[in-house]
Amino acid sequence: MLDHQDETKAAYDGVVDLYASLFANRLETQPFARNMIGTFAEVVRSTGNLRTADVGCGPGHLTAMLHEWGLDAFGLDLSPAMVEHARRAHPTLRFDEARMENLPVEDGSLGGVLAHYSMIHTPPGELPALLAEQVRVLAPGGLLLVSFFGTEGPEPVRFDHKVAPAYSWPVEQFVELLTEAGLVTVARLLHDPASERGFLDTHVLVRRP
């Protein structure tokens, strides 16, 4: 039986061209997300450590945006087809296949990690280990920006995402997991429901002390 990561990888491998076309505008129609990522880039630049991983980079559109905003950005993704597409679309940037809970990155080496809706497919019981891996690769003072679907319910909600099964999270519960991982909240932004399900687009910026 395939585990959830194998299922997610196969699902994204099968929708590369469609997915890339949907996000070709690089958040031009999503001002809240775009500005939160811009703030992330600015704060990472202020640390002096420009090396930044876009984990779950998909077709590489946000990796390229981070690069344009002055970061030494590279992309990592579970899907080999997404990585291949990103390399073709952005040949001057680095993209590698990797799982988020086992990043091919040295301890304490990154100024930033961007996780833009890339943790949503992780079952709740596996999320603490995944967050610990992001902390491992961040340098002291490094920033993590994680975006996810927020819900007002008491527990994470599994739902049928258009590509692969995913989870929405009570925002305070997710922030508590970030705190337990050793991260300090810098800012959070919740805005318009992301779908007919009523989930909120949620962005949380945290720092490794």
**Residue 168, beta-bridge partner list:** 157
Whole-prediction pTM: 0.93
Contacts of 29 (CB under 8 A, 6+ apart): none
Give the structural domain span for 100: 4-29+42-52+67-112+120-165+178-207
Residue 198, pLDDT score:
77
**Token code pair at residue 199:** 């989930």
Q: Determine contact, residues 86/63, Cβ cutoff 8 Å.
A: yes
In a domain, 60, yes or no: no
- Contact by Cβ (8 Å): 114, 134: no
Whole-number pLDDT of residue 116: 97
Partner residues linked to 207 by β-bridges = 143, 184
Task: Give the strand pairing for 110-116 and 95-97.
Answer: unpaired
Give the model's pLDDT for residue 64: 96
Candidates 95, 43, 55, 51; CA nearest to 72 is 51
Tens digit of each residue's pLDDT (9 = 90 or more) over 15-66: 788 777 877 676 888 899 999 999 999 999 999 999 999 999 999 999 999 9
Tally of structural domains, the chain: 1
- Provide the b/e sequence for 101-114 (b: ≥16 CB within 10 Å): eebebeeeebbbbb
Residue 181 has pLDDT above 60, yes or no: yes
Higher pLDDT, 71 or 26: 71
CATH number at residue 84: 3.40.50.150
For residue 127, being part of any structural domain is answered with yes
Residue 37 lies in a domain: no
Q: Are 51 and 110 in contact (CB under 8 A)?
A: yes
> For residue 91, is it within any domain?
yes
Confidence of residue 2 (pLDDT cuts 50, 70, 90): very low
User: Looking at residues 112-122, what average pLDDT do you find?
Assistant: 96
- In this prediction, residues 137-165 reach a mean pLDDT of 91
The answer to whether residue 197 is domain-embedded is: yes
Per-residue pLDDT band at 155 (split at 50, 70, 90): very high
- Phi and psi at residue 120, in whole multiples of 5°? -70, -20
pLDDT of residue 203 exceeding 60? yes
The answer to whether residue 48 sits within a structural domain is: yes
196, part of any domain: yes
Confidence grade of residue 208 (pLDDT, cut at 50, 70, 90) = very high
Specify if 149 maps to a domain: yes
Q: What does pLDDT average to over the chain?
A: 92
